[in-house]
Amino acid sequence: MTAPTPDAGDWSFPNRFTAVGSAVYYAIRFAPEATRDRDALLFAWHELIMQISERPRDPGAARLKLDWWRHEIENMHDGKARHPLAIALQENELGDNPATLMGAVIDVAEEEITRPALLDEDTFVAACRNSLGAVFRLLDPNGNSTNLDLGGYCAAVERIRHLGRCPQRVPEHLRNPGPTGNGERTRRIDELLARFAGTDSAETGSAPDFTRRMTALARAMQCKMRHQGYPASEPPIERAPIAHLWTAWRSRRAF
């Protein structure tokens, strides 16, 4: 199978998905130098896969790209990767069974392509845990299942932040205030995010450096979005780079 227009170039940190000034940039910037590139590569891979499923013009072509990536994961296992990002990833330690976790991310992306919209909260929670949550497990292959939940929380916050651009990635009843008003919607989003361990700072104390900082940055973003009623508009709410830097620096230590 031929690669569908693979991305070339340097994928080391910082790359186009971990741009200077972004929240993830500072989450990685304070990580130990030995894991910095690996963290950036895995995060970039996750974003690249999810980008394929983001309202594709040709769903069939998008699914072919995901199938190509499934084969590329097998190639990585055999040391025969072809995509520049996969080549860089196969040179890093990703635990004993990266194919299962990476496959879970691809499954989430394919489900988004085949399903017109996300309709219920349980599916939302599962999609978040099986996407960025799976990546957080790859970052700490010998850690506990809390990493799956922390990644899920970070993914959930980002889905809600980009509600204006990708409404299909958030449960239907949370997309607009509706007749009950924005206060009820805010309460329901709070309850939805509370299903993840990321809202509890005590759960992050033993998490890997990158995971701990990403979770702290997601909590700070949730706080800002909540203050504004979780707006469903574009452009999404942003925090200043200095705010990201401060949050990431403070989270160098356990909470």
102, 215, 216, 229 from 51: Cα distances, Å? 15, 21, 24, 26
Distance CA 213, CA 13 (A): 16
Taking domain 23-250, whether its CATH number is 1.10.260.40 is answered by no
Tell me which residue of 114, 217, 195, 93 sits closest to 148, measured CA to CA: 195
Residues written for the chain: 255
Per-residue pLDDT for the chain (255 aa), expressed as one digit of tens each? Answer: 554 445 656 788 899 999 999 999 999 999 888 889 999 999 999 999 999 999 888 999 999 999 999 999 999 988 899 999 999 999 887 876 788 999 999 999 999 999 878 889 999 999 999 999 999 998 886 666 788 899 999 999 999 999 999 999 999 889 876 655 678 899 999 999 999 986 666 667 678 889 999 999 999 999 999 999 999 888 999 999 999 999 999 887 543
Distance CA 20, CA 43 (A): 14
